[in-house]
């Protein structure tokens, strides 16, 4: 994250007196307009972070650089994003650490990618795999906008993980058994077990982000049946904010409840089968066949809506404009590498 005064070409988060945030990209000579007046971007360019600017209508705005969580919720998107509450759980529970070699599949708009890059740092590596070319370009634009340019630890490829990861292993990009962590955000992560098993080191963590209990059951049972994974652990997180005003301290009326399920498992040593956990099955737990649905039906089952081509084109045009503004602000100079927090 950058420090020092605001500069042209970077994003700034404005907060009005009612606590409503607005994000804009600073450009010399431009104005920010609201229904209650305007102010010039030049009032912020060169000013320190934490500045308050007042519109011509007398409304004050607090100006700060957006935090990662702020940026994720306001950035342009094609696919739905993984919320910060889940990204934080993924980084912690998958034990993503500085220098780790990580693979993620299902990049979407790049929300989780930002958290993973923050965690692995410049000394680690992140291979991100996305099936759709247009989503990959949206993710690339979001990542470059946040870090001020390409991140040195990041490689983005398009295609299916089942094809891209084995090709990377065969091509010498990475050695078999050299990956420390794998994170999957896709409709059918159980289809990737074979490829992930070849890449992941013994003891490495596999984490899947799943939308429905049906997917959760399928993933867990397939992992158990393969024998080379530890007992899967699943959970979800719910975040409830609190209203703070004098002695009026109470829970907010709204909360971010269920967004998705997280499940982790770890790779066993070669040739070692995971011990079967002894438990008494719940009544009806296996009354119907498990894994009896088609992957093609999953998009409808999880309520996934197709993203319109018009929206994707609009987001991509926005990223091109951001790149042009950054280039203009730096007079063609190479952007400085991302600075550690």
Q: Identify any residues that bridge with 13 across adjacent strands, giving them in sequence order.
A: 23, 64
> Which residues does 257 contact at the CB level (< 8 Å), separation at least 6?
238
Q: Given this model, what pLDDT does residue 167 score? A: 95
| Full residue range of the structural domain in which residue 41 is found | 1-66
Q: Is residue 319 part of a domain?
A: no
Q: Is residue 323 part of a domain?
A: no
Q: What is the CATH number of the domain that holds 284?
A: 3.40.50.150
Do 201 and 161 lie in one domain? The reply is yes
Do 88 and 39 lie in one domain? The reply is no
How is 33-57 classified by DSSP, letter by letter?
A: EETTEEEEGGGTTTPPTTEEEE-TT
Do 132 and 164 lie in one domain? The reply is yes
Please report which confidence band the pLDDT of residue 325 belongs to, taking 50, 70 and 90 as the band edges.
Answer: confident
Q: How far apart are CA 13 and CA 64, in angstroms?
A: 5
Q: Given this model, what pLDDT does residue 288 score? A: 56
Q: Is residue 184 part of a domain?
A: yes
Do 120 and 183 lie in one domain? The reply is yes
Do 55 and 103 lie in one domain? The reply is no
Q: Is residue 25 part of a domain?
A: yes
pLDDT of 329 over the 90 cut: no
Average pLDDT estimate for 297-315: 73
Do 133 and 248 lie in one domain? The reply is yes
Q: Is residue 274 part of a domain?
A: yes
Q: Is residue 75 within 8 Å of residue 105, measured between CB atoms?
A: no
Do 52 and 164 lie in one domain? The reply is no
Average pLDDT estimate for 135-162: 95
Do 197 and 239 lie in one domain? The reply is yes
Domain count for the chain, please give it.
Answer: 2
Q: Is residue 74 within 8 Å of residue 23, measured between CB atoms?
A: yes
| Least reliable range by pLDDT among 60-74, 197-211, 288-302 | 288-302
Do 27 and 140 lie in one domain? The reply is no
At 28-79, the pLDDT tens digits run 999 999 988 999 999 999 999 999 999 999 999 999 999 999 999 999 888 8
Domain end marker among 17, 38, 66: 66
Average pLDDT estimate for 172-191: 95
Do 11 and 158 lie in one domain? The reply is no
Task: Decide: residue 72, CB within 10 A, 0-12 exposed, 13-18 middle, 19+ buried.
Answer: buried
Q: Is residue 78 part of a domain?
A: yes
At 83-114, the pLDDT tens digits run 999 999 999 999 999 999 999 999 999 999 99
Do 53 and 199 lie in one domain? The reply is no
At 216-266, the pLDDT tens digits run 999 999 999 999 999 999 999 999 999 999 999 999 998 888 999 999 999
Q: Given this model, what pLDDT does residue 79 score? A: 85
Q: Is residue 130 part of a domain?
A: yes
Do 45 and 176 lie in one domain? The reply is no
Average pLDDT estimate for 321-334: 75
Q: Is residue 326 part of a domain?
A: no
């Amino acid at each position: 994250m950058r420090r020092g005064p605001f500069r042209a070409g970077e994003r700034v988060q404005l907060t009005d007196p009612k606590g409503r945030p607005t994000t804009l990209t600073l450009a010399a000579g431009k104005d920010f307009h609201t229904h209650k007046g305007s102010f010039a971007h030049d009032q912020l360019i060169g000013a320190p972070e934490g500045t308050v600017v007042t519109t011509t209508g007398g409304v004050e705005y607090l100006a700060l650089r957006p935090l990662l969580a702020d940026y994720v919720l306001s950035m342009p998107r094609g696919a739905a994003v993984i919320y910060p509450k889940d990204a934080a759980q993924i980084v912690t529970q998958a034990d993503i650490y500085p220098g780790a070699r990580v693979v993620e599949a299902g990049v979407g708009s790049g929300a989780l990618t930002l958290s993973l890059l923050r965690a692995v740092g410049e000394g680690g590596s992140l291979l991100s795999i996305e099936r759709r070319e247009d989503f990959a370009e949206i993710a690339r634009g979001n990542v470059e906008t946040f870090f001020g340019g390409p991140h040195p630890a990041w490689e983005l490829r398009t295609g299916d993980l089942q094809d891209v990861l084995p090709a990377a292993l065969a091509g010498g990009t990475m050695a078999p058994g050299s990956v420390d962590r794998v994170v999957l955000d896709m409709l059918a992560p159980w289809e990737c077990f074979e490829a992930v098993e070849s890449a992941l080191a013994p003891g490495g963590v596999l984490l899947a982000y799943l939308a429905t209990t049906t997917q959760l059951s399928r993933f867990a049972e397939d992992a158990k049946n393969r024998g080379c994974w530890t007992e899967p652990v699943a959970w979800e997180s719910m975040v409830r904010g609190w209203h703070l005003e004098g002695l009026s301290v109470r829970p907010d009326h709204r909360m971010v409840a269920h967004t998705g399920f997280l499940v982790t498992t770890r790779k066993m040593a070669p040739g070692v089968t995971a011990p079967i956990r002894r438990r008494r099955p719940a009544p009806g737990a296996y009354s119907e066949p498990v894994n009896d649905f088609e992957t093609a039906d999953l998009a409808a089952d999880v309520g996934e809506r197709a993203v319109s081509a018009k929206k994707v084109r609009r987001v991509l045009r926005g990223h091109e404009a951001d790149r042009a503004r950054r280039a203009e602000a730096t007079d063609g100079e190479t952007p400085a590498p991302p600075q550690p927090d």
